[in-house]
Amino acid sequence: GGKLAGPIGALLAVPVATIIGILVKEYLDYKKEINQKLEI
């Protein structure tokens, strides 16, 4: 059955993409902090 897969997939894609974006941003900020601490 592919009738529900489309709309459900579209609905899930937005929060998933948002969460991934947030996680990537958090990870990059965290990495930046670690690098600054290592430089001292």
pLDDT score of 1: 55
pLDDT score of 6: 82
Phi, psi of 2 (to 5 degrees): -110, 10
pLDDT score of 2: 65
How far apart CA 8 and CA 18 sit, in angstroms, is: 16
DSSP-derived secondary structure letter, 1: -
Write the pLDDT tens digit of every residue in 1-40: 567 778 888 888 899 999 999 999 999 999 999 999 998 6
What's the token pair of residue 3?
């009738």
Q: Token pair 């900020």 is at which residue?
A: 29
Domain residue spans of the chain: 1-40
How far apart CA 31 and CA 19 sit, in angstroms, is: 18
